[in-house]
Amino acid sequence: MSIPKDYNVEVVRREVVIPATVIQEHVLPFSNIDLTVPPCGVHVFFCYDKPFQTSFASVLSSLKSSLSRAFVSCSAFAGRVVSHGDGDLQMVCNGKGAEFSEAYADICIAQVEFYNPIAAIEGKLVPLLVKDSEENGSPVFAVQVTEFSCGGVVVGCTFDHRIADSFSANLFFTCWANVSRNEPNGSTTPSFTRSILVPRDPPNCFEIEKMYTRVHPFPQSNMQIPQPPITSRIYYLSSKDIEKLQQNANQNGNKYTKLEAFSAYLWKMLIQGQEVENIMNCNMGIVVDGCSRLTKMGMPSNYFGNVIALPYARARAEDIKKEPLSWSAKVIHDVIYSAANEEHFQSLVDFVEISKPSSVFARICESIDEPSFVVSSGLHFPLYKVDYGWGKPCLASHYLTYVPGYVMPTPSPYGDGSWLIYMNLLVDQLNAIESHPDFILCLISQNIFGG
């Protein structure tokens, strides 16, 4: 059977799911790190083979009921972002809920070309965050559940990045799934402590301006700025190839992580494949998760919000091309090390404070004249623990198209150390790396469904 290049999805019903109990309206302050995140939606989708022993109507009923109960533990996702006249933003936890859409696709889920997310996902399987009204503010979470002709199901979610990073959002997805299975949440119950990421008195943010800049107003995700054509892919990388990359990077007694080795490899592929001029500077950003690194500051492991920094490495194209993989891995390692500590995050908090009312923006995101991309690791996300009661996902991935040059590796569904890698790149970048003789990634296959 030939694989269709396109398919139709019809949304037949939209409703709003609210918390199961009344939420006392309150304001959840944005932390200073929340304020460094652009106003964009992040999409996450979970694909399931046909749930046996239950109907799609029962699936929908169970998901809505458990979502309502999960909102009691995570009231932020049922609230609204409200903007005041002076541009100040507030997260109002008012229990107004999230839109829940029911949809139907006209093909079998195994026929969908998920390796090409722009064609397969965008405008089909993930919802938009639709504003209620200017007075009510902007919703921060939405869900679309789609049934395919074979009975397969996709649960597509969109959340406002200003409210949560991907780690926090995955805490909520796991919490929601646990509620759906009537199991205890334990450490997945989100913590909304806001007394940790506070500025020092006096602030001390020496050298943080190397990585961040002040902007006013904050760049909007819907700005009408001409953009070069972008495209996205989801690739598979075997554990064997990951280990080879790490072995190639670990030279002269140095040891680097699998993520550092992969990032160095991709940096080299992009620069060599695009034939970048030798004298040009090339940038590679790494999203550093601070949640596990701020224990002395009292950061709980289930913190809900943004605890991310975006340092970046810069090197000349000539060096990236000619030096061995171990050289690029060390450059990346040193950048991660410089930010993976409490002082860096505290300095970022301080810098945001003294920059107000201007916004703070990662410098790599404005490097439009130099080849740049960002790697954000999802390797510790519990994507395949999101079991709502009818089995684990056979495919799960994030999907973010705000800026070109975004790469996120996540675990594969096989549990054997292999990865799935989402890339959102310029078309020229993607063509360059896919045609490179040393490119080792494979597009994911539809065979991922049904075993």
- Which residues, including other chains, have CB under 8 Å from residue 137's CB and lie 6 or more apart? 80, 81, 82, 83, 92, 131
Which residue, of 188, 217, 248, is where some domain finishes?
188
150/230 same-domain check: no
The pLDDT, as a whole number, for residue 307 is 93
271/410 same-domain check: yes
- 198 lies in some domain: no
The pLDDT, as a whole number, for residue 220 is 52
- pLDDT at residue 72 greater than cutoff 90: yes
Average pLDDT over residues 189-199: 85
Within 10 angstroms of residue 270's Cβ, the number of other Cβ atoms is: 26
- 68 lies in some domain: yes
147/30 same-domain check: yes
For 229, counting Cβ atoms within 10 Å of its Cβ (0-12 exposed, 13-18 middle, 19+ buried), the class is exposed
- 194 lies in some domain: no
Q: Are 343 and 305 in contact (CB under 8 A)?
A: no
The pLDDT, as a whole number, for residue 312 is 94
SS (H, E, C) 283-346: EEEEEEECHHHCHHHCCCCCECCCCEECCEEEEEHHHHHHCCHHHHHHHHHHHHHHHCCHHHHH
Range of the domain at 371: 208-392+400-448
253/315 same-domain check: yes
319/224 same-domain check: yes
Q: What is the pLDDT of residues 127-171, one digit of tens each?
A: 999 876 656 789 999 999 999 999 999 999 999 999 999 989 998
Domain count across the chain: 2
The bridge status of strand 308-309 relative to strand 281-289 is antiparallel
- 199 lies in some domain: no
Report d(CA 392, CA 214) in Å as an integer.
43
184/244 same-domain check: no
As beta bridge partners, residue 158 has 43, 142
262/179 same-domain check: no
For 42, counting Cβ atoms within 10 Å of its Cβ (0-12 exposed, 13-18 middle, 19+ buried), the class is buried
Which band of pLDDT confidence, cut at 50, 70 and 90, is reported for residue 193? Answer: confident
- 196 lies in some domain: no
- Predicted TM-score (pTM) of this structure: 0.93
Q: What is the pLDDT of residues 323-346, one digit of tens each?
A: 999 999 999 999 999 999 999 999
Domain at 54, CATH number = 3.30.559.10
SS3 assignment, position 101 = strand
- pLDDT at residue 6 greater than cutoff 90: no
Report d(CA 160, CA 365) in Å as an integer.
18
> At 309, which amino acid appears?
A
277/347 same-domain check: yes
Cis peptide preceding 217, ω within 30 of 0: yes
The pLDDT, as a whole number, for residue 254 is 87
184/214 same-domain check: no
Q: What is the pLDDT of residues 195-252, one digit of tens each?
A: 888 999 888 887 898 899 988 655 554 444 445 688 999 999 999 999 999 999 998 8
Which band of pLDDT confidence, cut at 50, 70 and 90, is reported for residue 366? Answer: confident
- 2 lies in some domain: no
Which band of pLDDT confidence, cut at 50, 70 and 90, is reported for residue 358? Answer: confident
Q: What is the pLDDT of residues 409-448, one digit of tens each?
A: 999 999 999 999 999 998 888 998 998 999 999 999 877 7
169/272 same-domain check: no
| DSSP letter, residue 217 | S
Which band of pLDDT confidence, cut at 50, 70 and 90, is reported for residue 296? Answer: confident
Q: What is the pLDDT of residues 370-394, one digit of tens each?
A: 888 999 999 999 899 999 999 999 9
Candidates 135, 86, 98; CA nearest to 16 is: 98
182/247 same-domain check: no
Q: Mean pLDDT over all residues of the chain?
A: 89
Q: Are 309 and 364 in contact (CB under 8 A)?
A: no
